[in-house]
Structure 1
Amino acid sequence: MHSKTPSPGKSQGHHGGRRRRQRQGLHNFGPALSDHELSTQHFPVLDFIVQDPADMHAAGQSLLTKNVGVRVSFMQHSFFEPLPIGDADAFILRTCVLNQCDRHDVTMFRALVLGPERSKPTTPLLINDLVVPAQGTLTLDSESSLRQIDLIMLAGFGGKLRTETEFGALLRQADERHEIRSFRLEGLVGLLEVYLRRWAMAQAASRNQSDGNDRLSQN
């Protein structure tokens, strides 16, 4: 989900919005279409862009009430393709990571980088997904249920459940600037708040400029 204040002018898992007037918007990638309407009710100043395959748009629009529908738009998009939207206040990826193998998740995270790159440094990528808690923190029954879900995801989709550490490793493999700054877990559902380290971008630009100056000096 991507959030931004609307300006004139996703549920596969991704949802976003634009700035306009004094309102804000969210950009959202995620399969729970009913959550979009709930989000707009809780955050009346947000506009949303929901990115999904085209066949999901009608289902999503049918769930929106009239007063909410004016703030939610739909865009056909695959989260494996470079993100075409920037200048958002937030991007939300919901229950998409567990459905994929590591290689596909890295591809997805890499495609999403363009959104935060074209937004303010304070713009987060919010990942809302099932997360494996630290070992020893669950009851035996909960641990057993978790393992069953993990096996179902593996057999059905080639996916898996992951720990916070495993999420971090995949994000850094996609782009070394990714940094998890906050992690919250309620039961098995976690929320990771991810940012791009802008100092790394500044350092890279500085190195490129320095290399260019060195070449000019040699000439």
Structure 2
Amino acid sequence: MPDLNGKTALVTGAGRGIGRAIALRLGRDGARVVVHYASSGNGAAETVAQIRDSGGDAMAIQAELGVDGDAERLWSAYDEQADGVDIIVNNAGVLGGRIPFAEVTEQTYDEIFAVNTRAPFFVLQHGLSRLRSGGRIVNVSTRFTHGARVPDLAAYAMSKAAIDSLTATLAKELGPRGITVNAVGPGATATDMNAARLASEEGRAEMAALSPLARIAQPEDVADIVAFLASDDARWVTGQWVDASGGSML
């Protein structure tokens, strides 16, 4: 198990789903975890409690993403809880629903990009002065940016493709400081985002069939990959998009 003792991690959108699993895993590995949430206050409190109950250290901060001044407010809340950061995980995001291309409204498009693209960009921009040399940035992307084309998720995939580009660009920018920047691309995972598909036996079977491993991904499957990238074991990995979809594109 990676040793993150003495490290401080910020995980956005950590009140539920993949974000919660990432926060819990980093906490188990020894990191002090700052659990960000926008509206899932109860979920964030549960995440913090689980980390503390396991002997770890965690606290929650609230900041709505996708609105003006979001990054400043997030880091202002962070600074009240911690001094400097070693690991930043940009996990918070919105799907926007499965909407036919012709029916995507400007409002939906703008919301998706505000949360999924604009917010992580400025969270990182404002976070660089706090990110210690030798730190880690992990961006949660999606399999839909690499060969898995779904027209009903066009805006979502576009928003994450921009994050993939940012990942590679920042890897070059921050390399001289020993900071690695990588992205992970989950596929269909058992989270609230897929609640409708998980509600039926047919939907669950379809999700499981996407992977040659013939099962539905759990948030912990993705969290373990993020934990590797956040650790010293991944010190020679940077600027990469890592498939976290269970081989769904084979």
- Compute the TM-score of the two structures, normalised by the length of structure 1: 0.51
| 1:67 alignment partner in structure 2 | 53
Deviation of the 1:117 alpha carbon: 2.1
Please identify the structure whose Cα radius of gyration is greater. 1
Residue 36 (structure 2) pairs with residue 39 (structure 1): no
Structure 2 regions of 5+ residues with no counterpart?
A: 97-110, 188-221, 230-237, 240-250
Deviation of the 1:52 alpha carbon: 1.1
| 2:208 alignment partner in structure 1 | none
| 1:29 alignment partner in structure 2 | 12
Q: Distance in 2 between matches of 1:163 and 1:51?
A: 20
Deviation of the 1:133 alpha carbon: 5.4
Query: 1 or 2, which has the higher strand percentage?
Result: 1
Counterparts of residues 114-153 of structure 1 (less than 5 Å): 114-132=126-144, 134-135=146-147, 143=148, 146-147=149-150, 151=152, 153=153
Mark the CA change 1:103 to 1:128 in structure 2 (over 3 Å): closer, same or farther.
closer
- Preserved CA contact (<8 Å) 1:134 1:163: no
Mark the CA change 1:109 to 1:50 in structure 2 (over 3 Å): closer, same or farther.
same
Q: Distance in 1 between matches of 2:71 and 2:13?
A: 15
Q: Distance in 2 between matches of 1:120 and 1:70?
A: 21
**Alignment length (residue pairs):** 154
Higher relative contact order (CA 8 A, sep 6+): 2
- Aligned Cα root-mean-square deviation (Å): 4.1
Q: Distance in 2 between matches of 1:97 and 1:127?
A: 14
Deviation of the 1:88 alpha carbon: 0.8
Deviation string, structure 1 residues 49-105 (Cα, Å, up to 9, x no partner): 11112x422223235335237511101123433233461111011152766544551
* Residue range with higher mean Cα deviation, 103-112 or 116-125: 103-112
- Preserved CA contact (<8 Å) 2:112 2:159: no
Query: 1 or 2, which has the higher helix percentage?
Result: 2
Identical columns (%): 10
Counterparts of residues 52-201 of structure 1 (less than 5 Å): 52-53=37-38, 55-63=39-47, 64-65=49-50, 66-68=52-54, 71-79=57-65, 80-82=70-72, 83-84=75-76, 85=78, 87-96=84-93, 101-102=112-113, 105-132=117-144, 134-135=146-147, 143=148, 146-147=149-150, 151=152, 153=153, 159-161=156-158, 166-169=162-165, 177=173, 183=182, 188=187
Q: Distance in 2 between matches of 1:69 and 1:78?
A: 29
- Compute the TM-score of the two structures, normalised by the length of structure 2: 0.46
Q: What amino acid maps onto 1:96 in structure 2?
A: G
- Preserved CA contact (<8 Å) 2:8 2:32: yes
Q: Distance in 2 between matches of 1:73 and 1:97?
A: 23
Q: Distance in 1 between matches of 2:53 and 2:160?
A: 39
- Preserved CA contact (<8 Å) 1:93 1:128: yes
Q: What amino acid maps onto 1:74 in structure 2?
A: A
Which runs of at least 4 in structure 1 moved beyond 6 Å after TM superposition? Answer: 171-174, 189-192
Deviation of the 1:118 alpha carbon: 2.1
